Amino acid sequence: MNFTPREYALHALSSPHQPSAALYSCPCLRSQRQHQGYAPAPSTTAGQKKIKSAERVRSPWLKFFVLAMLSPASSAAVVEYNLTIGYFISRPDGRPVITLGINGQLPSPTLEVTRGDTLVVHVQNDDPVHSHSLHWHGLAMKGAPEYDGVAGVTQCGILPLDSMTYRFVVLDEPGTYWYHSHAGLSHAGVRGIAGPLLVRPRPGDEVHEGTYTRDLLLFVGDWAHEPPAEHYANSKAGFHESLAQSAQWHNVALYKWTSALVNGLGGYYGGVYSIMNVVQGETTRLRICNV
């Protein structure tokens, strides 16, 4: 029996203690569950009735009605982006490293939508070895949990040289969010799969309207020169030492990093720092992502 991504999520939520048989239709979830010693629950008539009941509750017509009520047609739009995950050479802090990122840039492209818009993101995974996914950090993903982007939980990872399209209505409060990979060691954006996601208010809903002149973004993050696996191993080796430092100073990171980047730039090896221009007398609003 084949199930849609939405049904995978419904089955996972309907049986938190015992995975249902539907979960085993997804290869990555099936192998993960079997490796952990779980066995699929037997498929019963009652279980099938429960599935059909859940499908009725989450019917497309009901979802359409709710979204129509929350997202006025006069302001809603469909916003599309094309993102390609792949390797490239970058020099964010002056030292060249092989980087796994999106569209060959650091940070990853800024995505901008207005509250109520439908965000459509076409993702091509050009990594020939690893699967990836994109998680929309901070968004509640109401009405579209199957696109939350957590590989092995809400979706299978995007296989090497394969693609996937994320499509959901952004119903969250306007503000500054970010997105990143959520599969394996790439999930924290160690090698560049991370970028800003800006949700702007509908026309007339801007609570700070008229209080600032310009809007600037600071995308701040740590940077390591080692490949993710090596960086993780080195950090784990020095974990207890870092833990002691953290207890003493209260603000020392548990993982060791080489440098810090602001908007994809740093100065560790003679690199160029990010420059932001402001005008004397004007009020500047800063959007800060600490990733």
5-53 pLDDT tens trace: 444 334 333 333 333 333 334 445 444 444 444 344 444 343 433 333 3
Report the run of H or E that residue 84 belongs to, with start and end: strand 78-90
- 68 sits in which H/E element: helix 60-70
In terms of Cβ atoms closer than 10 Å to its own Cβ (0-12, 13-18, 19+), residue 72 is: exposed
Q: Which CATH superfamily is domain 80-203 in?
A: Cupredoxins -  blue copper proteins (2.60.40.420)
pLDDT score recorded for residue 265: 93
Query: If you average pLDDT over residues 148-159, what whole number do you get?
Result: 93
pLDDT digits (tens, 9 = 90+) for 19-31: 333 333 444 544 4
DSSP label of 180: E
Q: What DSSP character marks residue 151?
A: B
**For residue 167, is pLDDT > 80?**
yes
Q: Which of 53, 182, 67 is nearest to 119 (CA)?
A: 67
CA distance 110 to 148: 18
| Count of Cβ atoms closer than 10 Å to residue 101 Cβ | 26
pLDDT on residue 224: 82
pLDDT (tens digit, 9 = 90+) per residue, 67-102? Answer: 544 444 446 899 999 999 999 999 999 999 889 999
Could you tell me what percent of the chain has a pLDDT over 70? 62
Domain locations along the chain: 5-58, 80-203, 222-290
